[in-house]
């Protein structure tokens, strides 16, 4: 039998309950795309998380994810978004704070220890600082990486590339360079009648094998085996065969 869909708590009254619990820490609440989003003041984010976790009727016990968003045109260009889950109510909300490259966001590792790695991901990808995180270092990019790749102003080709050097017999870093050959496009589909052979397609042309004449054993008629030569004498008599009538005795 098909199981029923899980029951989700409605969003009705969530913003009002959060406003009563958060007080002045709440800047704005919105119910969009079937999900409640709360914007709170950056300096009060830890108190807001504790209130959302411990207030009856809210009870968002789990921090599921911390995400970052970059809006370069804003003065505080970064959104730090906390995704919370209430297990008892089967309900999710998002809590958002804003910041820039210099203003740190208070760490919530004292509320949810799992935030340590999640904050490191946001720091690595966006460069957002978290005050109170005891291990704020890169977690996704390599050692010595320069920049934060999820920022909108980060170059799409990066700065350096990693490859194995046959000459040095080790892994080396080198500036990214795109060969001009890879930037020439004629936008012609080979399925629509291109007259040239694309690189690599010549390997798909297999020459047809030549037909071979099957080897057979030569017949006596072809080799002359068993025929007396011009200088051959009479055939010797077979001692096991009795001479028949009319044959030489």
The answer on pLDDT for 243 being more than 80 is no
- Structure-token pair, residue 171: 């892994």
Residue 78 pLDDT class (50, 70, 90 cuts): very high
| Tens-digit pLDDT profile for residues 135-167 | 999 999 887 788 899 999 988 776 777 888 888
Most confident of 114-128, 140-154, 177-191: 114-128
Which are the contacts of 122, defined by CB distance < 8 A and separation ≥ 6?
A: 66, 67, 68, 80, 128, 130
Bigger pLDDT: 206 vs 109: 109
Determine contact, residues 15/36, Cβ cutoff 8 Å. Answer: yes
Q: Are 174 and 163 in contact (CB under 8 A)?
A: yes
| 45 Cα distance to chain centroid | 33
Residue 217: helix, strand or coil by DSSP?
coil
Contact 109, 131 (CB under 8 A): no
| pLDDT tops 70 at residue 237 | no
**Structure tokens given for 154:** 């980060």
* Tokens encoding 248: 């030489």
Torsion angles phi and psi, residue 222, rounded to 5: -85, -35
In this structure, the strands spanning 170-175 and 26-32 are unpaired
Segment 185-232, tens digit of pLDDT? 555 665 666 666 666 776 666 667 776 777 777 666 666 666 566 665
Residue scoring higher pLDDT (33 or 235): 33
Q: Which of 46-55, 105-114, 170-179 has the lowest mean pLDDT?
A: 170-179
63: which residues sit within 8 A by CB, 6+ positions away? 49, 82, 83, 84, 108, 111, 112, 114, 115, 118
Burial of 97-114, coded b for 16+ CB within 10 Å and e otherwise, reads: bbbeeeeebbbbbebbee
Q: Residue 106 pLDDT > 60, yes or no? A: yes
pLDDT band for position 93 (cuts 50, 70, 90): very high
> Model's pTM, two decimal places?
0.65
The stretch 41-48 carries a mean pLDDT of 97
The set of residues, in sequence order, having a beta carbon less than 8 Å from that of 205 and lying 6+ positions away, is none
User: Does residue 92 register a pLDDT over 80?
Assistant: yes
């Amino acid at each position: 039998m098909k199981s029923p869909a899980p029951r989700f708590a409605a969003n009705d009254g969530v913003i009002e309950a959060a406003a009563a619990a958060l007080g002045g820490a709440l800047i704005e609440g919105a119910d969009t795309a079937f999900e409640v989003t709360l914007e709170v003041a950056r300096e009060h984010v830890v108190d807001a998380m504790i209130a959302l976790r411990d207030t009856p009727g809210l009870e968002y016990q789990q921090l599921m994810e911390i995400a970052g968003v970059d809006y370069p045109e804003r003065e505080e260009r970064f959104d730090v978004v906390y995704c919370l889950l209430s297990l008892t109510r089967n309900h999710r909300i998002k809590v958002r704070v804003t910041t820039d490259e210099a203003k740190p966001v208070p760490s919530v590792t004292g509320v949810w220890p799992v935030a340590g790695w999640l904050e490191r991901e946001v720091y690595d990808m966006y460069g957002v600082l978290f005050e109170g995180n005891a291990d704020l270092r890169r977690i996704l990019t390599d050692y010595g990486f320069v920049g934060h790749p999820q920022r909108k102003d980060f170059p799409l080709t990066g700065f350096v590339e990693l490859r194995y050097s046959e000459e040095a017999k080790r892994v080396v870093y080198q500036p990214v360079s795109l060969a001009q050959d890879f930037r020439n496009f004629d936008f012609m589909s080979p399925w629509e009648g291109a007259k040239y052979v694309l690189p690599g397609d010549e390997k798909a042309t297999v020459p047809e094998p030549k037909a071979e004449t099957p080897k057979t054993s030569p017949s006596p008629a072809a080799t002359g085996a068993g025929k007396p030569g011009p200088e051959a004498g009479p055939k010797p008599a077979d001692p096991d065969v009795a001479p028949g009538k009319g044959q030489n005795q």
